[in-house]
Amino acid sequence: MYDRSSVNPEPVDFLQIIEFVYRSLIFSGAGKTAACRELTCIRNISNQRELLLEDGVIGPRMVSRDMKTIPNPGQRKRPGFKTIISSLRHRNFRLFWTGQCISLVGTWMQNMAQSWLVLELTGSPFLLGLVGALQFVPLLLFALFTGAVADRLPKRPLLLFAQGMSMLIALVLGLLTLFNVVQYWHVAVLAFLLGAMHALDMPVRQAFIVELVGRDDLMNAIALNSSVFNGARIIGPAVAGLVISTVGIAACFLANAASFLFVLGGLLLVRVREEVDGRGGHQNLWEDVREGLVYIHSNQTVFTVLAMVGGMSVLAMNFNVLVPVFAREVLHRQAQGFGFLMSATGLGAFAGALTLAYLSHRGPRLKLLLAAAFGLCFCELLLAPVRLYSLALVLLCLAGFAVSTFSASANATIQMNVPDHLRGRVMSVYSLVFIGLVPVGNFFSGTVAHLWGAPAGLALGGGLALLFLLFLGRRLLRHQQTPVS
Protein backbone atom coordinates (compact mmCIF):
# COMPACT_ATOMS: atom_id res chain seq x y z
CA MET A 1 0.00 0.00 0.00
CA TYR A 2 1.15 3.51 -0.64
CA ASP A 3 -0.19 6.90 0.36
CA ARG A 4 -1.98 8.53 -2.62
CA SER A 5 -1.81 11.92 -0.95
CA SER A 6 1.99 11.85 -1.16
CA VAL A 7 1.91 11.45 -4.92
CA ASN A 8 1.66 14.58 -7.09
CA PRO A 9 1.17 13.27 -10.61
CA GLU A 10 1.54 15.44 -13.68
CA PRO A 11 -1.81 16.45 -15.18
CA VAL A 12 -3.00 14.12 -17.90
CA ASP A 13 -2.91 15.67 -21.40
CA PHE A 14 -6.09 14.32 -22.97
CA LEU A 15 -5.17 15.86 -26.30
CA GLN A 16 -2.15 13.56 -26.55
CA ILE A 17 -4.28 10.52 -25.75
CA ILE A 18 -6.85 11.41 -28.41
CA GLU A 19 -4.07 12.09 -30.90
CA PHE A 20 -2.64 8.64 -30.24
CA VAL A 21 -6.04 7.03 -30.85
CA TYR A 22 -6.48 8.90 -34.12
CA ARG A 23 -2.99 7.91 -35.26
CA SER A 24 -4.08 4.29 -34.81
CA LEU A 25 -7.30 4.85 -36.73
CA ILE A 26 -5.49 6.33 -39.70
CA PHE A 27 -3.77 3.04 -40.52
CA SER A 28 -6.97 1.01 -40.23
CA GLY A 29 -8.18 2.10 -43.65
CA ALA A 30 -11.74 2.86 -42.49
CA GLY A 31 -12.36 6.42 -41.48
CA LYS A 32 -8.92 7.53 -42.67
CA THR A 33 -10.03 10.84 -44.21
CA ALA A 34 -12.24 11.83 -41.27
CA ALA A 35 -9.53 10.93 -38.79
CA CYS A 36 -6.94 13.08 -40.56
CA ARG A 37 -9.32 16.02 -40.56
CA GLU A 38 -10.13 15.64 -36.87
CA LEU A 39 -6.44 15.20 -35.99
CA THR A 40 -5.59 18.49 -37.72
CA CYS A 41 -8.34 20.25 -35.76
CA ILE A 42 -7.05 18.83 -32.47
CA ARG A 43 -3.50 19.89 -33.21
CA ASN A 44 -4.71 23.45 -33.94
CA ILE A 45 -6.53 23.57 -30.61
CA SER A 46 -3.43 22.25 -28.83
CA ASN A 47 -1.26 24.93 -30.44
CA GLN A 48 -3.72 27.67 -29.36
CA ARG A 49 -3.70 26.37 -25.80
CA GLU A 50 0.10 26.30 -25.65
CA LEU A 51 0.25 29.93 -26.79
CA LEU A 52 -2.25 30.97 -24.13
CA LEU A 53 -0.30 29.06 -21.50
CA GLU A 54 2.86 30.91 -22.46
CA ASP A 55 1.06 34.25 -22.23
CA GLY A 56 -0.46 33.35 -18.87
CA VAL A 57 -4.03 33.78 -20.15
CA ILE A 58 -5.09 30.33 -18.94
CA GLY A 59 -3.62 27.86 -16.45
CA PRO A 60 -2.64 24.20 -16.81
CA ARG A 61 -5.68 23.09 -14.84
CA MET A 62 -7.97 24.65 -17.47
CA VAL A 63 -6.13 22.81 -20.26
CA SER A 64 -6.28 19.37 -18.68
CA ARG A 65 -9.83 19.53 -17.31
CA ASP A 66 -11.84 21.31 -19.95
CA MET A 67 -11.30 20.77 -23.64
CA LYS A 68 -13.79 23.54 -24.47
CA THR A 69 -11.82 26.35 -22.88
CA ILE A 70 -10.88 27.76 -26.31
CA PRO A 71 -14.11 28.89 -27.97
CA ASN A 72 -14.60 28.73 -31.71
CA PRO A 73 -14.55 32.38 -32.89
CA GLY A 74 -17.14 31.61 -35.57
CA GLN A 75 -19.54 29.99 -33.10
CA ARG A 76 -22.17 32.28 -31.56
CA LYS A 77 -24.43 31.58 -28.66
CA ARG A 78 -28.06 31.45 -29.58
CA PRO A 79 -29.78 34.63 -28.42
CA GLY A 80 -32.39 34.19 -25.73
CA PHE A 81 -34.19 36.23 -23.12
CA LYS A 82 -30.89 37.11 -21.45
CA THR A 83 -29.82 38.73 -24.72
CA ILE A 84 -32.81 41.08 -24.60
CA ILE A 85 -31.84 42.35 -21.13
CA SER A 86 -28.06 41.92 -21.38
CA SER A 87 -27.34 45.58 -20.52
CA LEU A 88 -29.24 45.19 -17.23
CA ARG A 89 -26.35 43.15 -15.86
CA HIS A 90 -24.65 46.51 -15.24
CA ARG A 91 -25.67 47.84 -11.83
CA ASN A 92 -25.45 51.49 -12.88
CA PHE A 93 -27.71 50.98 -15.87
CA ARG A 94 -30.23 48.98 -13.82
CA LEU A 95 -30.58 51.89 -11.42
CA PHE A 96 -30.90 54.43 -14.21
CA TRP A 97 -33.28 52.31 -16.30
CA THR A 98 -35.58 51.51 -13.37
CA GLY A 99 -35.95 55.19 -12.58
CA GLN A 100 -36.75 55.89 -16.23
CA CYS A 101 -39.46 53.20 -16.23
CA ILE A 102 -41.41 55.10 -13.59
CA SER A 103 -40.55 58.67 -14.56
CA LEU A 104 -41.49 58.29 -18.25
CA VAL A 105 -45.00 57.11 -17.32
CA GLY A 106 -45.37 60.33 -15.34
CA THR A 107 -44.04 62.35 -18.28
CA TRP A 108 -46.67 60.94 -20.63
CA MET A 109 -49.34 61.58 -17.99
CA GLN A 110 -48.30 65.23 -17.83
CA ASN A 111 -48.27 65.56 -21.63
CA MET A 112 -51.87 64.43 -21.88
CA ALA A 113 -53.01 66.40 -18.83
CA GLN A 114 -51.35 69.59 -20.11
CA SER A 115 -53.16 69.33 -23.46
CA TRP A 116 -56.46 68.74 -21.69
CA LEU A 117 -55.85 71.67 -19.34
CA VAL A 118 -55.14 74.08 -22.21
CA LEU A 119 -58.33 73.05 -23.98
CA GLU A 120 -60.31 73.59 -20.78
CA LEU A 121 -58.75 77.03 -20.25
CA THR A 122 -58.99 78.31 -23.83
CA GLY A 123 -60.94 75.91 -26.02
CA SER A 124 -58.52 76.87 -28.82
CA PRO A 125 -56.65 74.26 -30.89
CA PHE A 126 -54.31 77.05 -32.04
CA LEU A 127 -53.27 77.93 -28.49
CA LEU A 128 -52.83 74.23 -27.77
CA GLY A 129 -50.49 73.97 -30.74
CA LEU A 130 -48.63 77.06 -29.56
CA VAL A 131 -47.90 75.46 -26.20
CA GLY A 132 -46.61 72.38 -27.99
CA ALA A 133 -44.37 74.52 -30.17
CA LEU A 134 -42.98 76.35 -27.13
CA GLN A 135 -41.65 73.05 -25.79
CA PHE A 136 -39.66 72.46 -29.00
CA VAL A 137 -38.27 75.98 -29.46
CA PRO A 138 -35.59 75.64 -26.72
CA LEU A 139 -34.30 72.48 -28.37
CA LEU A 140 -33.82 74.35 -31.63
CA LEU A 141 -32.12 77.25 -29.86
CA PHE A 142 -29.94 75.54 -27.27
CA ALA A 143 -29.33 71.90 -28.27
CA LEU A 144 -25.95 72.50 -29.94
CA PHE A 145 -24.67 74.39 -26.91
CA THR A 146 -25.96 71.91 -24.35
CA GLY A 147 -24.16 69.18 -26.29
CA ALA A 148 -20.90 71.12 -25.92
CA VAL A 149 -21.58 71.52 -22.20
CA ALA A 150 -22.16 67.76 -21.96
CA ASP A 151 -18.69 67.15 -23.37
CA ARG A 152 -17.06 69.63 -20.99
CA LEU A 153 -18.66 68.68 -17.68
CA PRO A 154 -19.53 65.44 -15.84
CA LYS A 155 -22.87 64.19 -17.11
CA ARG A 156 -24.44 62.87 -13.91
CA PRO A 157 -24.64 66.30 -12.17
CA LEU A 158 -26.09 67.79 -15.36
CA LEU A 159 -28.79 65.12 -15.42
CA LEU A 160 -29.54 65.65 -11.75
CA PHE A 161 -30.00 69.37 -12.42
CA ALA A 162 -32.23 68.84 -15.49
CA GLN A 163 -34.38 66.19 -13.83
CA GLY A 164 -34.65 68.19 -10.60
CA MET A 165 -35.80 71.31 -12.46
CA SER A 166 -38.31 69.25 -14.46
CA MET A 167 -39.71 67.92 -11.18
CA LEU A 168 -40.04 71.48 -9.86
CA ILE A 169 -41.86 72.62 -13.02
CA ALA A 170 -44.34 69.74 -12.72
CA LEU A 171 -44.87 70.51 -9.04
CA VAL A 172 -45.55 74.22 -9.69
CA LEU A 173 -48.02 73.43 -12.48
CA GLY A 174 -49.75 70.87 -10.27
CA LEU A 175 -50.14 73.30 -7.36
CA LEU A 176 -51.40 76.10 -9.62
CA THR A 177 -54.00 73.72 -11.03
CA LEU A 178 -54.91 72.27 -7.64
CA PHE A 179 -55.70 75.72 -6.18
CA ASN A 180 -57.60 76.82 -9.33
CA VAL A 181 -55.33 79.79 -10.04
CA VAL A 182 -53.70 78.46 -13.20
CA GLN A 183 -53.86 80.64 -16.33
CA TYR A 184 -52.86 80.03 -19.92
CA TRP A 185 -49.70 82.11 -19.67
CA HIS A 186 -48.59 80.00 -16.70
CA VAL A 187 -48.81 76.87 -18.82
CA ALA A 188 -47.01 78.55 -21.74
CA VAL A 189 -44.09 79.80 -19.63
CA LEU A 190 -43.70 76.49 -17.82
CA ALA A 191 -43.83 74.62 -21.14
CA PHE A 192 -40.97 76.75 -22.45
CA LEU A 193 -38.92 76.13 -19.30
CA LEU A 194 -39.61 72.42 -19.53
CA GLY A 195 -38.44 72.48 -23.15
CA ALA A 196 -35.22 74.18 -22.02
CA MET A 197 -34.61 71.35 -19.55
CA HIS A 198 -35.27 68.81 -22.30
CA ALA A 199 -32.71 70.58 -24.48
CA LEU A 200 -30.13 69.90 -21.77
CA ASP A 201 -31.38 66.48 -20.72
CA MET A 202 -31.63 64.77 -24.11
CA PRO A 203 -28.04 65.01 -25.42
CA VAL A 204 -26.58 64.48 -21.94
CA ARG A 205 -28.72 61.40 -21.32
CA GLN A 206 -27.87 59.91 -24.72
CA ALA A 207 -24.15 60.45 -24.13
CA PHE A 208 -24.38 59.14 -20.55
CA ILE A 209 -25.55 55.64 -21.51
CA VAL A 210 -22.14 54.51 -22.76
CA GLU A 211 -20.67 55.39 -19.37
CA LEU A 212 -23.18 53.06 -17.73
CA VAL A 213 -22.77 49.97 -19.94
CA GLY A 214 -19.69 50.41 -22.15
CA ARG A 215 -19.61 49.88 -25.89
CA ASP A 216 -20.34 46.14 -25.90
CA ASP A 217 -23.86 46.56 -24.48
CA LEU A 218 -24.53 50.04 -25.85
CA MET A 219 -26.96 48.97 -28.57
CA ASN A 220 -28.91 46.80 -26.16
CA ALA A 221 -29.15 49.67 -23.66
CA ILE A 222 -30.41 52.03 -26.37
CA ALA A 223 -33.04 49.48 -27.42
CA LEU A 224 -34.18 48.94 -23.82
CA ASN A 225 -34.44 52.70 -23.32
CA SER A 226 -36.58 52.87 -26.44
CA SER A 227 -38.79 50.06 -25.15
CA VAL A 228 -39.34 51.94 -21.88
CA PHE A 229 -40.23 55.13 -23.75
CA ASN A 230 -42.74 53.34 -25.97
CA GLY A 231 -44.14 51.27 -23.13
CA ALA A 232 -44.74 54.44 -21.12
CA ARG A 233 -46.30 55.95 -24.23
CA ILE A 234 -48.96 53.23 -24.06
CA ILE A 235 -49.47 53.18 -20.29
CA GLY A 236 -49.10 56.89 -19.44
CA PRO A 237 -52.05 58.34 -21.41
CA ALA A 238 -54.33 55.51 -20.28
CA VAL A 239 -53.47 56.13 -16.62
CA ALA A 240 -53.82 59.89 -17.14
CA GLY A 241 -57.31 59.48 -18.58
CA LEU A 242 -58.36 57.43 -15.56
CA VAL A 243 -56.81 59.91 -13.10
CA ILE A 244 -58.36 62.96 -14.79
CA SER A 245 -61.82 61.39 -14.75
CA THR A 246 -61.63 60.29 -11.12
CA VAL A 247 -59.31 62.69 -9.27
CA GLY A 248 -58.63 65.66 -11.54
CA ILE A 249 -55.99 67.18 -13.81
CA ALA A 250 -53.80 68.43 -10.96
CA ALA A 251 -53.18 64.87 -9.79
CA CYS A 252 -51.41 64.04 -13.08
CA PHE A 253 -48.92 66.90 -12.63
CA LEU A 254 -48.30 66.01 -8.99
CA ALA A 255 -47.87 62.33 -9.85
CA ASN A 256 -45.31 63.27 -12.48
CA ALA A 257 -43.42 65.40 -9.97
CA ALA A 258 -43.34 62.44 -7.58
CA SER A 259 -42.13 60.09 -10.34
CA PHE A 260 -38.94 62.16 -10.71
CA LEU A 261 -37.90 61.04 -7.23
CA PHE A 262 -37.18 57.58 -8.61
CA VAL A 263 -34.92 58.74 -11.43
CA LEU A 264 -33.16 61.19 -9.09
CA GLY A 265 -32.64 58.42 -6.56
CA GLY A 266 -31.23 56.14 -9.23
CA LEU A 267 -28.82 58.83 -10.44
CA LEU A 268 -27.62 59.47 -6.88
CA LEU A 269 -26.85 55.76 -6.46
CA VAL A 270 -25.01 55.48 -9.78
CA ARG A 271 -21.23 55.29 -9.43
CA VAL A 272 -19.27 56.53 -12.45
CA ARG A 273 -16.00 58.36 -12.93
CA GLU A 274 -16.97 62.01 -13.20
CA GLU A 275 -14.21 63.67 -15.16
CA VAL A 276 -14.04 67.19 -16.52
CA ASP A 277 -12.69 67.49 -20.06
CA GLY A 278 -9.03 68.25 -19.51
CA ARG A 279 -7.87 68.44 -23.10
CA GLY A 280 -7.60 72.20 -22.87
CA GLY A 281 -7.80 74.63 -25.75
CA HIS A 282 -11.42 75.61 -25.12
CA GLN A 283 -11.96 79.22 -26.14
CA ASN A 284 -15.74 79.34 -26.11
CA LEU A 285 -18.77 77.21 -26.76
CA TRP A 286 -18.84 78.25 -30.40
CA GLU A 287 -15.46 76.59 -30.98
CA ASP A 288 -16.68 73.41 -29.30
CA VAL A 289 -19.86 73.40 -31.40
CA ARG A 290 -17.83 73.96 -34.55
CA GLU A 291 -15.54 71.06 -33.67
CA GLY A 292 -18.53 68.75 -33.37
CA LEU A 293 -20.05 69.90 -36.66
CA VAL A 294 -16.72 69.49 -38.46
CA TYR A 295 -16.46 65.92 -37.18
CA ILE A 296 -20.00 65.11 -38.32
CA HIS A 297 -19.24 66.47 -41.78
CA SER A 298 -16.00 64.46 -42.00
CA ASN A 299 -17.58 61.16 -40.93
CA GLN A 300 -19.78 60.10 -43.84
CA THR A 301 -21.59 57.40 -41.87
CA VAL A 302 -22.61 59.76 -39.08
CA PHE A 303 -23.47 62.57 -41.50
CA THR A 304 -25.62 60.36 -43.72
CA VAL A 305 -27.49 58.73 -40.83
CA LEU A 306 -28.21 62.15 -39.28
CA ALA A 307 -29.47 63.42 -42.65
CA MET A 308 -31.67 60.33 -42.93
CA VAL A 309 -33.09 60.86 -39.43
CA GLY A 310 -33.84 64.51 -40.21
CA GLY A 311 -35.55 63.68 -43.49
CA MET A 312 -37.66 60.92 -41.98
CA SER A 313 -38.59 63.13 -39.03
CA VAL A 314 -39.91 65.85 -41.34
CA LEU A 315 -41.55 63.67 -43.99
CA ALA A 316 -42.63 60.37 -42.47
CA MET A 317 -43.01 60.63 -38.68
CA ASN A 318 -46.02 62.90 -38.34
CA PHE A 319 -48.61 60.47 -37.03
CA ASN A 320 -49.67 62.85 -34.24
CA VAL A 321 -50.96 65.24 -36.94
CA LEU A 322 -52.21 62.88 -39.64
CA VAL A 323 -53.76 60.02 -37.63
CA PRO A 324 -56.39 62.19 -35.84
CA VAL A 325 -57.53 63.64 -39.16
CA PHE A 326 -57.41 60.22 -40.84
CA ALA A 327 -59.45 58.66 -38.04
CA ARG A 328 -62.15 61.33 -38.10
CA GLU A 329 -62.48 62.22 -41.79
CA VAL A 330 -61.56 58.95 -43.53
CA LEU A 331 -62.39 56.15 -41.09
CA HIS A 332 -65.21 58.13 -39.42
CA ARG A 333 -64.13 57.26 -35.92
CA GLN A 334 -64.47 59.26 -32.72
CA ALA A 335 -62.06 59.73 -29.82
CA GLN A 336 -62.08 56.07 -28.78
CA GLY A 337 -61.28 54.86 -32.29
CA PHE A 338 -58.50 57.42 -32.57
CA GLY A 339 -57.10 56.26 -29.24
CA PHE A 340 -56.92 52.66 -30.45
CA LEU A 341 -55.10 53.75 -33.61
CA MET A 342 -52.46 55.58 -31.58
CA SER A 343 -52.21 52.65 -29.18
CA ALA A 344 -51.55 50.36 -32.15
CA THR A 345 -48.67 52.63 -33.17
CA GLY A 346 -47.29 52.56 -29.64
CA LEU A 347 -47.67 48.78 -29.39
CA GLY A 348 -45.77 48.30 -32.63
CA ALA A 349 -43.03 50.66 -31.46
CA PHE A 350 -42.69 48.71 -28.21
CA ALA A 351 -42.41 45.43 -30.10
CA GLY A 352 -39.82 46.98 -32.42
CA ALA A 353 -37.67 48.10 -29.50
CA LEU A 354 -37.77 44.62 -27.92
CA THR A 355 -36.90 43.01 -31.26
CA LEU A 356 -33.90 45.28 -31.62
CA ALA A 357 -32.83 44.44 -28.07
CA TYR A 358 -33.01 40.75 -29.04
CA LEU A 359 -30.80 41.39 -32.07
CA SER A 360 -28.42 43.76 -30.29
CA HIS A 361 -25.73 41.07 -29.87
CA ARG A 362 -25.04 41.47 -33.59
CA GLY A 363 -24.29 45.18 -33.23
CA PRO A 364 -25.68 47.99 -35.40
CA ARG A 365 -26.54 46.87 -38.92
CA LEU A 366 -26.97 49.44 -41.67
CA LYS A 367 -29.15 47.05 -43.67
CA LEU A 368 -31.55 46.73 -40.73
CA LEU A 369 -31.67 50.51 -40.38
CA LEU A 370 -32.47 50.91 -44.08
CA ALA A 371 -35.03 48.10 -44.02
CA ALA A 372 -36.88 49.77 -41.15
CA ALA A 373 -36.82 53.16 -42.92
CA PHE A 374 -38.13 51.70 -46.18
CA GLY A 375 -40.72 49.70 -44.23
CA LEU A 376 -42.06 52.90 -42.67
CA CYS A 377 -42.40 54.53 -46.10
CA PHE A 378 -44.25 51.55 -47.53
CA CYS A 379 -46.59 51.43 -44.51
CA GLU A 380 -47.57 55.06 -45.11
CA LEU A 381 -48.08 54.50 -48.83
CA LEU A 382 -50.24 51.45 -48.13
CA LEU A 383 -52.21 53.27 -45.44
CA ALA A 384 -53.18 56.18 -47.69
CA PRO A 385 -55.92 54.34 -49.70
CA VAL A 386 -57.16 52.26 -46.74
CA ARG A 387 -60.78 52.66 -45.65
CA LEU A 388 -61.04 49.59 -43.42
CA TYR A 389 -60.46 50.29 -39.72
CA SER A 390 -58.95 46.89 -38.86
CA LEU A 391 -56.45 47.14 -41.71
CA ALA A 392 -55.49 50.64 -40.57
CA LEU A 393 -54.77 49.25 -37.10
CA VAL A 394 -52.43 46.61 -38.56
CA LEU A 395 -50.57 49.07 -40.79
CA LEU A 396 -50.12 51.60 -37.98
CA CYS A 397 -48.79 48.84 -35.73
CA LEU A 398 -46.26 47.92 -38.42
CA ALA A 399 -45.40 51.59 -38.89
CA GLY A 400 -44.74 51.95 -35.17
CA PHE A 401 -42.51 48.89 -35.32
CA ALA A 402 -40.54 50.45 -38.18
CA VAL A 403 -40.21 53.86 -36.47
CA SER A 404 -38.86 52.34 -33.26
CA THR A 405 -36.42 50.03 -35.05
CA PHE A 406 -35.19 52.81 -37.32
CA SER A 407 -34.69 55.43 -34.60
CA ALA A 408 -32.93 53.09 -32.16
CA SER A 409 -30.74 51.64 -34.93
CA ALA A 410 -29.79 55.15 -36.06
CA ASN A 411 -28.96 56.13 -32.48
CA ALA A 412 -26.76 53.06 -31.99
CA THR A 413 -25.04 53.47 -35.37
CA ILE A 414 -24.14 57.08 -34.60
CA GLN A 415 -22.92 56.36 -31.08
CA MET A 416 -20.72 53.47 -32.24
CA ASN A 417 -19.04 55.81 -34.75
CA VAL A 418 -18.35 58.69 -32.35
CA PRO A 419 -15.36 59.20 -30.01
CA ASP A 420 -16.25 59.80 -26.38
CA HIS A 421 -14.96 63.40 -26.24
CA LEU A 422 -17.41 64.41 -29.04
CA ARG A 423 -20.36 62.25 -28.02
CA GLY A 424 -22.40 65.01 -26.36
CA ARG A 425 -22.09 67.35 -29.32
CA VAL A 426 -22.95 64.72 -31.90
CA MET A 427 -25.93 63.46 -29.90
CA SER A 428 -27.16 67.04 -29.52
CA VAL A 429 -27.37 67.20 -33.32
CA TYR A 430 -29.20 63.87 -33.28
CA SER A 431 -31.70 65.28 -30.77
CA LEU A 432 -32.05 68.38 -32.93
CA VAL A 433 -32.88 66.54 -36.16
CA PHE A 434 -34.97 63.83 -34.51
CA ILE A 435 -37.03 65.89 -32.06
CA GLY A 436 -36.29 69.54 -32.89
CA LEU A 437 -37.56 69.21 -36.46
CA VAL A 438 -40.94 67.84 -35.32
CA PRO A 439 -42.66 71.27 -35.67
CA VAL A 440 -41.39 71.52 -39.26
CA GLY A 441 -42.76 68.08 -40.05
CA ASN A 442 -46.05 68.85 -38.32
CA PHE A 443 -46.41 72.03 -40.36
CA PHE A 444 -45.68 70.16 -43.60
CA SER A 445 -48.14 67.33 -42.91
CA GLY A 446 -50.76 69.64 -41.45
CA THR A 447 -50.67 71.88 -44.52
CA VAL A 448 -50.98 68.96 -46.94
CA ALA A 449 -53.81 67.41 -44.90
CA HIS A 450 -55.62 70.78 -44.78
CA LEU A 451 -55.39 71.26 -48.55
CA TRP A 452 -55.89 67.71 -49.87
CA GLY A 453 -56.74 65.51 -46.89
CA ALA A 454 -54.92 63.07 -44.62
CA PRO A 455 -54.47 60.34 -47.28
CA ALA A 456 -52.60 62.85 -49.44
CA GLY A 457 -50.42 63.74 -46.47
CA LEU A 458 -49.55 60.08 -45.93
CA ALA A 459 -48.90 59.40 -49.61
CA LEU A 460 -46.86 62.53 -50.26
CA GLY A 461 -44.81 62.19 -47.07
CA GLY A 462 -44.16 58.49 -47.63
CA GLY A 463 -43.33 59.00 -51.31
CA LEU A 464 -40.88 61.86 -50.73
CA ALA A 465 -39.25 59.98 -47.87
CA LEU A 466 -38.85 56.95 -50.13
CA LEU A 467 -37.06 59.01 -52.79
CA PHE A 468 -34.89 60.58 -50.10
CA LEU A 469 -33.93 57.14 -48.81
CA LEU A 470 -33.06 55.82 -52.25
CA PHE A 471 -30.44 58.54 -52.56
CA LEU A 472 -29.08 58.37 -49.01
CA GLY A 473 -29.20 54.58 -48.76
CA ARG A 474 -26.73 54.09 -51.60
CA ARG A 475 -24.47 56.74 -50.13
CA LEU A 476 -24.64 55.17 -46.67
CA LEU A 477 -23.67 51.69 -47.87
CA ARG A 478 -20.91 53.13 -50.06
CA HIS A 479 -19.32 55.23 -47.31
CA GLN A 480 -19.90 53.05 -44.23
CA GLN A 481 -16.94 53.23 -41.86
CA THR A 482 -15.50 51.02 -39.18
CA PRO A 483 -16.95 51.91 -35.73
CA VAL A 484 -14.73 53.80 -33.35
CA SER A 485 -13.09 51.47 -30.85
Percent of the chain with pLDDT over 70: 79
- What does the pLDDT look like over 187-216, one tens digit per residue? 999 999 999 999 999 989 988 988 898 888
User: Looking at 314-473, which runs of residues are DSSP E strands?
Assistant: none
Query: pLDDT (tens digit, 9 = 90+) per residue, 255-266?
Result: 999 999 999 999
Report d(CA 244, CA 420) in Å as an integer: 44
Query: Which position has the higher pLDDT, 340 or 1?
Result: 340
Q: Indicate left, alpha or beta for 123 from its phi (over 0: left) and psi (-120 to 50: alpha).
A: left
Asked whether the predicted pLDDT for residue 41 surpasses 60, the reply is no
As annotated, the residues of the chain forming the CATH 1.20.1250.20 domain(s) are 87-278, 294-485
Q: Which CATH superfamily is domain 294-485 in?
A: MFS general substrate transporter like domains (1.20.1250.20)
State residue 322's pLDDT score: 84
273: left (phi over 0), alpha (psi -120 to 50) or beta: beta
Quick check: pTM over 0.85? no
Rounding to the nearest 10 degrees, give the CA dihedral for residues 377, 382, 384, 389: -120
Maximum mean pLDDT: which of 144-148, 150-154, 189-193, 345-349? 189-193
Q: Is the pLDDT of residue 20 over 50?
A: no
104-120 pLDDT tens trace: 999 988 988 888 888 88
Say which CATH superfamily domain 87-278 falls into.
Answer: MFS general substrate transporter like domains (1.20.1250.20)
Contacts of residue 421, Cβ cutoff 8 Å, sequence gap at least 6: 151, 277, 279
Question: Which residues, including other chains, have CB under 8 Å from residue 148's CB and lie 6 or more apart?
Answer: 285, 288, 289, 292, 424, 425, 428
